C-alpha cells in the first residue's frame, strides 16, 4: 500500500482555479433543492450570490441564517459537474478550507451520473472524499456508500495539531479499478477494496461495480441533518465559509 500520493502516469484533464468574476456555468451546475431534501438537512440550496460567489481566485460557499417572525430558515450552496464533466476513474483533488461550528457539514464528493445503471442510491454508489463535521473540525471522513441493504466503509484522519478550518488542506481520492485511496496533504489515510452492487434479493453485479462507470463532482455546504446535528446558539454564521482554492482531475491514458 503506497503511503504518499503520486501523479506518475497521470494527465490533467479538468481543473478550475475560480479565477473569474463569476462561476463558470460551462463547468458547473448550481443545484437547487428544498429543505429536508436529504438527511433531514435544514438548508435550502439556492442560486444566489450571497451563498455562492468567487472572490480572490476562490470559490466561497456561505450558509445564511434568516429569522423572520420567529421562524428560522437557512440557505446554502451546492454545485456539481453532472453531464458537463463526468469521469470514470482518475485522481480527484481539491484544496479546501472548511467552516467551524455546530451544524455545518461541507463536502467534496462523487456521485453516480446514471443512477439507473445499477439502481437508485445507495446501490448506484457514492464516494465521499472530504466531509468535516463543523463541531469536530480536526477530523476528515472518507466514505463509500453502496449495496442494498445500505452499507458503508469509512476511514478517518485527525490532525495532530490545529484543524481544517484554520488553513487550506489538499484532499484527494485515487479511484482505480478495484481500489480506492484517500489522501490528505498527499498522505494516504484510507484504502478500500471491498464493496458490491446488488439490489436486495438479487445477484450482485460483477466487481468492481458500482464504482466502474461515470461519476461527477459535487461541492456543497449542508446545515444540520441526521449525521452532523443542527446548529445551536454557539454556531457563527457571520464568519462561516467553505472556501475552495482549486479542483483538479487527472486520468491515466
Percent residues over pLDDT 70 in the chain: 99
User: Above 90 in pLDDT, residue 116?
Assistant: no
Q: Cell 503520486 sits at which residue?
A: 6
Q: Under a CB-based contact definition with an 8 Å cutoff, are residues 124 and 117 in contact? A: yes
C-alpha cell at 42: 435544514
1 pLDDT band, cuts 50/70/90, is low
pTM of the model as a whole: 0.97
Q: Cell 462561476 sits at which residue?
A: 23
Choose the CATH number for 40-232 among 3.40.50.980, 2.30.42.10, 3.40.50.300, 2.60.120.200.
2.60.120.200
State how far the alpha carbon of 178 is from the alpha carbons of 126, 205, 207, 208, 249, in Å: 15, 13, 7, 5, 19
Distance between CA atoms of residues 194 and 151, nearest Å:
11
User: Above 90 in pLDDT, residue 192?
Assistant: yes
pLDDT digits (tens, 9 = 90+) for 26-81: 999 999 999 999 999 999 999 999 999 999 999 999 999 999 998 999 999 999 99
Query: Taking the chain, what is the end-to-end CA distance rounded to the nearest angstrom?
Result: 22
Distance between CA atoms of residues 15 and 144, nearest Å:
24
- Reduced to 3 states (helix: H, G, I; strand: E, B; else coil), residue 4 is strand
Catalytic positions? 126, 131
Amino acid at each position: 500500500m503506497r503511503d504518499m500520493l503520486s501523479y506518475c502516469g497521470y494527465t490533467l484533464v479538468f481543473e478550475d482555479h475560480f479565477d473569474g468574476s463569476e462561476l463558470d456555468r460551462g463547468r458547473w451546475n448550481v443545484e437547487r433543492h428544498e429543505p429536508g431534501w436529504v438527511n433531514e438537512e435544514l438548508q435550502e440550496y439556492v442560486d444566489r450570490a450571497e451563498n455562492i460567489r468567487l472572490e480572490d481566485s476562490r470559490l466561497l460557499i456561505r450558509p445564511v441564517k434568516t429569522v423572520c417572525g420567529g421562524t428560522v430558515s437557512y440557505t446554502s450552496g451546492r454545485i456539481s459537474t453532472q453531464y458537463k464533466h463526468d469521469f470514470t476513474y482518475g485522481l480527484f483533488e481539491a484544496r479546501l478550507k472548511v467552516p467551524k461550528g455546530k451544524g455545518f457539514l461541507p463536502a467534496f464528493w462523487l456521485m453516480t451520473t446514471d443512477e439507473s445503471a445499477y439502481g437508485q442510491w445507495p446501490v448506484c454508489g457514492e464516494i465521499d472524499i472530504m466531509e468535516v463535521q463543523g463541531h469536530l473540525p480536526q477530523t476528515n471522513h472518507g466514505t463509500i456508500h453502496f449495496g442494498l441493504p445500505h452499507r458503508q466503509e469509512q476511514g478517518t484522519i485527525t490532525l495532530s495539531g490545529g484543524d481544517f478550518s484554520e488553513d487550506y488542506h489538499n484532499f484527494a481520492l485515487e479511484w482505480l479499478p478495484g481500489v480506492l485511496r484517500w489522501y490528505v496533504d498527499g498522505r494516504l489515510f484510507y484504502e478500500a477494496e471491498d464493496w458490491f452492487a446488488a439490489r436486495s434479493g438479487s445477484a450482485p453485479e460483477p466487481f468492481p461495480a458500482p464504482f466502474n462507470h461515470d461519476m461527477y463532482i459535487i461541492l456543497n455546504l449542508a446545515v444540520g441533518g441526521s449525521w452532523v446535528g443542527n446548529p445551536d446558539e454557539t454556531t457563527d454564521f457571520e464568519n462561516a465559509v467553505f472556501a475552495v482554492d482549486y479542483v483538479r482531475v487527472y486520468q491515466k491514458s
